Chains A and B, each alone.
Chain A
C-alpha cells in the first residue's frame, strides 16, 4: 500500500513538473542589426568626399553613412537627431560639419565617430540647408530666411551674418506696424531670402545660391557680397502706344507671341512690366491710370498665352491710397517722352547647387532643367544647353566632365566646360527613377552621387561611368531603383 502511494505521488509530481514546463514558452526577438550596420536605407541629400576613399553622406532621419575604403564598406554613424540632415561637409578626413532642420548643426573632429551639437545664434531656429567647411576651424552655413552664419573657431561660436532688412531695402515700405516697431526697438528683421547652397573654394572665395535666381559671390572672406547676374537670351523690345491709347499695336503681337512661347518653355522666368505715359497725357487726364491700363493690356495678353499671373509682375502701379504717398515723386517715375511699356525678363530660376573648380569657373544646377555656368568668378552666368526640363539638383566636377544629376534618375555630362550637357553613354549610369540629390568628387577621378533610398553611386574614371555601391543589389531592387 505504501509503495502504491509513493508511486502515485511520484507520478503526480513528475507529471506536474512536466506540465509546468509547458508554460516556459517565450519567443526570443533579438537585434537584427549590429552597431553601425545600416538598418533602413534612408534618402540621402548631401555628400562630402575627401580623397579617393572617404565619403560621408547625410540625409533623412538623421542618417549619415560613411566609407573609408572607397565604398567597399559603409557604416551608419550615430547622430543626435532624427530630423533631416540637409548638408554635410568635411574640410579633411577628420573635421566636418552637418546641418539640418530647425537650426541643427553638429561638428566632428574624429571623422564622424562622435559629434558635438552646436548652435546658431538665432531664434526661432531656421532650417539650415548648406554648410561649407574651409578648414578645421572655419566654416560657413546658410539657410532660409536669409540665414548666413560663419565660424572661425570650429563652431564654438557662430556669427550671425544673415541678410537683414533696413530702410534701404525695397520691401521695407511693406513692413507691418508690428515689424516696424520691432525694427525701431533694435531687433533684427531678417530678409525673406531662401538660400539653398553654399560653396567656398578657399577662405576668400565663396558663392551662395537660392530661390528666384539669387546668386551671391564674395572674394574677401565674406566681408562683402555682391549679386551675380544671369544673362538670359530672352528680351523684349519696348512696346509703344498711340497717344491716349492702351491697346497693343498689332505690329507688336508677333514679338509677344514668340516671347510667350519661350516663357512657356522656361517656367523659371518671370516678367516685369513697367508702363509710362507722356507729360501731355498726364496733363490731360490728371492721373497716371493710363499707364496702369497699358500695363494691364500687356499682362492680359501674356496671360492669354498661358503665362500665369504669378509670373507677371506689374511694377509701380498707381497707389490706391494716394494720400500717404508722395504722388509728385511717383508721377515723375511714370512720365516718359513716349508712351510705352517696358518689359523686362527676370531670370529667377530656383537654384539648388553651386560648385566651382577654381576662382573663375563655376556651375549652378536648378529647377526646370536649368544649368548655369560662369567663367568670371560668378559675376555673370549663362545658361548651358540641356535637353531636359526636369530639375537638376547638383553638378559634380570630374576630370572627364561636369556630371549633372537630378530628379527621376536623370543624369547628364558636359565635356566642354559646361557649354552643353548630354546624356551619358548607354550603360554608363545605372538606370533609376528615384532622384539623385548631390554629386561630389573627392579627387578628379573619384566621384560620388547620392540620392533616393540610400542610393550611392561611384565613378572611378572622372565621371564617365558609374556603378552602384549602396544599397546592395537585392535591397536596391526593393527600393525601386529599376535594377
Chain B
C-alpha cells in the first residue's frame, strides 16, 4: 500500500500571477482549443511523409508530399577532410573503398584438389556478376586478371592466366601449386593462404552506386547466396567480409531494432502504468512521446534526410527524453492536483462538485505548465543546443543528426510542455486524487535528503571529485579514437561478419587497405623511373615503421618484369632509371595482360599511380601510425620539378587550442611553400631550392556581369548547339533549353579554362558543379550570378615564376573573421593547354608527380577518426559551456552553472571511463550518443535545482528545501531514470553489439546522472549555499507590477 503524502498549502508554492511563465500558461489554456488544433495540424503535416512511405510502396503516393525513408550512404559518413578530397579525386580511377573479401577454406587438406578448384571457379564467376561489381577489381585464382609471367628458356616472355582451366590430374595440380609458390608477391599469401588451405577472392564495387538500401541489399543477398550454395556440400567454409557486408548485415538486423523499439514502448507503457496507476499518467506520456516522434520523423522527410539505421538509437533516446519531460509534467500535476483538491475542499468545507473538480484540474494543469516552463524550456534548449553543437563537424551524417535531432528535441516543447496540460484539460479528471509514491522510495529519498544536507554531504562531494579526477586521467590516457578492435564493433565477436574478418586476417594477413596515391600532372607522369623509385622508398618506409602485412604497386610489377627481361637474373630486379625503359615495360605488361589489368595500379594515360598497403586491422592506433609515417615520408621527400603546397604550422600552444576546440576556431592559417628542383646535366634531381611567395592581402574585384552573361550565352550557343534567340537570362537549362548533360559539363570546363572563371570548388570539378542538381547550373542568370560571386575572393599570398610558367595563389572565399573557411591553393600552369587557375583539393601541386593521401578503408577511417577526435572534445566542451551559460543566466548564478556542469562532467567522464575500460573506441556512431547523454543528465539536475529553489522560497530553509526537492522532484527523476533504464535495458541483449554497448553506456549515463541530480547537486548546494536560492518566488512578487496571488479558479476554465 503506498503511503499518502502530506498535503501542503497550495498558496505557499505558487508562482506569482505576473510571472511570464504563468501569463503564458494562462494564455495557452484559455485558448487551448485553438492551440490544440494548431498542434494537431502541424502533427498532421509531419505525419503525411510517414503515411507516404507505405503508400509509395503500393504505388499511390500522396502528390507533393515527401516520403519518409531509411537508408544509409557511405559518403555521408565521411568528413570534409583532405584525405576524403583525395579519395573523391581518385575514385573511379583506381577503385573504391568498397571491397568485399571472400575466403574459401577447404575443410580438409590443401586447396589443390580438382573439385575444390571447381568451386573456386564457380564462386569467382558468381562474384564477377554481382551487382555493381567493378570487373577490373576482381581477383581470384581463376580470374582472367590473375596472371603469371614466365621466362622461357630461350629468354622469351609469356604471360598467362594462373589457372585458365581447372587442373584435372596430380601433375597439373602440382604444377599449379608450384606456380603459386613461385609468386609470393601477388598470389602466394595474398590469393592463397600460407598454409595452402584457403583461397581469397576479392571484388571491388562502385561506391557511388552503393548509396542506397536496395543496392546494398542486392549485393548482400548475392554474396550470402554464394555462401549458402557453396557450403552445402560440406567441403568448404565460405567467409565473407568487407564494408558493404557490414551495411547488409545491419539492414538484416534492422528488424531486430524495430523489435527492441517495440519492446521499449511496451515496457514504458507498463512502467508508467505501474507508477501512475491511471490513464493520465500513461496515455498522455505515450501520446506525447508518439507525437514528438511523428514530428521528428516527418521533419527528416520534409528536409530530405534519409534516416540512417545505424543511428536509430538516437531518435529513440530523444523520444525517451520527451517521455521523461512528460513524466515530470505528470508527476508535478498529480502532486499539485492532490494538493489543489484538498485545499479547495477544505476551503469549501465539503467535497467538490464535478465542475469544481474539473476547474481544479485545469488550474493545476495551468500552474504545472507554468512551473515547469522554465526548467522544461531550459532542459529542452540545452538539449537542442547540445545537438546543434554537432553541426561543427563536417560529417554529413552527423550534420543531418544535428538538424533533425535538435528539431526533434524542440518539438518536445510543443508536444509536452504545451500539449500535455491541454490533454489534461480535455481528459476526464483522474478518479483518484491521491498521489501514490512507493514507500521504499520515500524512505530512500528521505535518506538521500538527509545524506546530502547532513555531515556526510562532504563525503558525497569528495567521492564524486575523486571519481571525476580518476576518470579524467584514465580517459586521457587510455581512451581510443576509432575502432579499437578488429572487425566491426557494431557486431559481437562471434557474429558471422567478425568471424569472417578475423579468419581472413589470420589467413591472408589483413584486408584493410591504406592507399597512397601518386598524382601526376600530365600523361606518363607516373611511368617514370624517379617516381617509381620514390614509391618504392615509401613502401619500404611504411613497411619498416608501420608494419603492414603486405603492399602492392606498379613497382612490384616493374621489378619482376625487368628481372625477367634480363634472363631472369635477380640482380636486374630493380626499377630502371630511364623513363623509356619504364614505358617499354608498361607496354609489355599491358600487351601481355587482359585489358585494364594494370588499371588498379596505373591509370590508362599513365598519369596517376598508387601504393596500397594491407593491414591486419584498422584500429585507431594502426591508422594513425600508417598516416604518421606516410606523411613523414612525403614531407621529407618532395618529388617533381616544382612543388607548391600549403603548410599548416604545427607545434606550440596553438596545437592544444585547435585540438580541443578545432572547428570552433577560425580556420588555421596556412602558408604557401614552393620548391624548385635543381637538375643536373643527367636530368637528375640533386635537391630543392625554395621559392619565395609574397603576401598580397587583397580582395579581387568582381567580374563584369554583362560580359560574363555574354560569354555564357556564347558557350551555350556554340557547345550546347542552341539558337541564340531561344536563350534568355531566365532560361532553364533543362526545361527551356533541353540541353544535354554532357554539353553542360563541357560548357563549364570551357568557361573555366578559356576565361579562368572559378567555377570549380575545392572538392568539385567544373563538370561536377555544373551537373549538381542542387547547384546554380540550372538557369542562365543563376550561372552568371555564381560565376560573378565566385570571382570575388581574398588573395592571401601568391607565388609566381615566369621561367617555370607557374603562378600559385592562396585564397579564401570569406573574410578572416568568418570562422571556419578553408585556405585554398589554386595554381595556374601556363605550360598546359588549360592554363587557367585550378583548385588543388589536396592543398599541394607538383609539376611531375606528387604523393596524395589517402584512400582505402583506412584512409577514410583516418579522416573520420581525426574529425571524431577533434569534434568530440569540442562537442563536450561546448555542451558544457552552453549548459553553464544557460543555467547561469537563467538562475543568474555562476555557482548554479558550475555545480550542474561538474555533475554532468562526472557522469560524462565516468561513461567515457567505461568505454575506455571496455576498449570501445570513440567513433562517428558513439559521438552523438555522448551528446544526447549529456542532455539527459542536465534535465534531471535542472529539475532538481528548480525545485530546490521553489521549496526554499516557501520554507526559507535551504537544507529543508533540498530535502523536499529530493522527495518530490527526486521521485520523478528517479522514476524517469528507472523507466528509461527499464526501457533501454532490453537493448543490452541486442545482436548488434553497438546497440547493446550503447544501451549499457546510456544506462550508466542515466543512472550516474540521476544519482548526480539527487545526491551530488544537492550536496554541492548544501555546502556552497549559493545566493541565488535567496531570490525566491515571493521576492519576485515584490517587484513592481508583480504581486504574489493565489491562483484564481476561474481564470482558465
Contacts and interface: CB of A to CB of B under 8 A. Distances in A.
B895 A8 contact: yes
A452 interface: yes
A29 B545 contact: yes
Interface string A25-42: 101010011000001100
B573 A60 contact: yes
B547 A350 contact: no
Given A11-B902, A27-B624, A367-B153, A19 B547 contact: no
Given A4-B895, A21-B476, A391-B568, A433 B182 contact: yes
Contacts, number: 119
A453 B574 CA distance: 14
B625 A29 contact: yes
A18 B472 contact: yes
Contacts of B189: 478, 480
A63 B657 CA distance: 45
A451 B563 CA distance: 14
Contact of B476 (A25, A60, A433): A25
Given A8-B898, A12-B898, A60-B574, A22 B476 contact: yes
B1027 interface: yes
A42 B898 CA distance: 61
Interface string A446-483: 00000111000000000000000000000001111010
B464 to A, nearest CB: 13
A4 B1024 contact: yes
B685 interface: no
A43 B1027 CA distance: 78
A407 B178 contact: no
A311 B181 contact: no
B718 interface: no
B569 A352 contact: yes
A311 B153 CA distance: 12
B545 A367 contact: no
B656 A479 contact: no
Interface in A77-132: 82-84, 86, 101, 129
B646 to A, nearest CB: 23
A211 B189 CA distance: 35
Contact of B571 (A129, A367, A434, A452): A129
A24 interface: yes
B153 A23 contact: no
A391 B659 CA distance: 59
B155 interface: yes
Contacts of A311: 154
A7 interface: yes
A155 B660 CA distance: 61
B579 interface: no
A56 interface: no
B11 interface: no
A350 B152 CA distance: 13
Interface string A289-319: 0000000000000000000100100000000
B544 interface: yes
From B184, B655, B660, residue with most partner A Cβ within 10 Å: B184
B1027 A4 contact: yes
B156 interface: yes
A4 B544 contact: no
Contacts of B657: 23
Given A12-B898, A29-B545, A477-B194, A23 B569 contact: no
Classify chain A: how many residues form its interface, as a range: 35 or more
Contacts of A101: 574
Contacts of B476: 21-22, 24-25
Interface residues of B, number: 49
A39 B543 CA distance: 9
Contacts of B545: 29, 32
Nearest to A436: B570
B188 A480 contact: yes
B656 A367 contact: no
Interface string B869-880: 000010001000
A468 B307 CA distance: 59
B629 interface: yes
A23 B655 CA distance: 8
B894 interface: yes
Contact of B544 (A8, A32, A86, A268): A32
B621 interface: yes
B184 A367 contact: no
Contact of A482 (B152, B181, B628): B181
A61 interface: yes
A308 B184 contact: no
Contact of A45 (B194, B570, B628): B570
A29 B629 contact: yes
B155 A433 contact: no
Residue among A11, A39, A86, A479 with the most chain B CB within 10 A? A11
B1026 interface: yes
A148 interface: no
A389 interface: yes
A199 to B, nearest CB: 17
Interface in B906-941: none
Given A12-B898, A24-B656, A408-B182, A43 B153 contact: no
B523 interface: no
Contact of A22 (B154, B181, B547, B873): B873
B895 A267 contact: no
A319 B843 CA distance: 64
Of the candidates A8, A29, A84, A480, the one having the most CB atoms from chain B within 10 angstroms of its own CB is A480
A7 B568 contact: no
A4 B1027 CA distance: 8
B723 interface: no
Nearest to B654: A23
A369 B154 CA distance: 12
A433 B181 contact: yes
A435 B628 contact: no
Contacts of B625: 27, 29
A469 to B, nearest CB: 20
Given A29-B625, A480-B188, A61 B569 contact: no
A305 B156 CA distance: 17
A185 interface: no
A453 B153 CA distance: 24
A14 B362 CA distance: 48
Interface string B49-63: 000000000000000
B540 interface: yes
Given A434-B184, A478-B189, A480-B181, A1 B155 contact: no
Contacts of B154: 267, 308, 311
A340 interface: no
B436 interface: no
B567 interface: yes
Contacts of B544: 32-33, 39-40
Contacts of B181: 433, 480, 482
Given A8-B898, A11-B902, A1 B570 contact: no
Contact of B1026 (A4, A33, A308): A4
A368 interface: yes
A334 interface: no
B547 A32 contact: yes
Cβ-closest 8 pairs across A and B: A480-B184, A23-B656, A433-B181, A267-B154, A267-B153, A368-B153, A23-B660, A23-B659
14 contacts: A1-B1027, A7-B1024, A15-B901, A22-B659, A22-B660, A27-B625, A43-B573, A101-B574, A267-B154, A367-B567, A391-B568, A393-B570, A434-B184, A480-B181
Given A11-B898, A11-B902, A19-B877, 12 more contacts: A4-B895, A8-B894, A21-B476, A27-B621, A29-B629, A32-B545, A45-B570, A60-B574, A350-B155, A367-B568, A391-B567, A478-B509
Interface of A: 1, 4, 7-8, 11-12, 15, 18-25, 27, 29, 32-33, 39-40, 43, 45, 60-61, 82-84, 86, 101, 129, 196, 211, 267-268, 308, 311, 350, 352, 367-369, 389, 391, 393, 407-408, 433-435, 437, 451-453, 477-480, 482
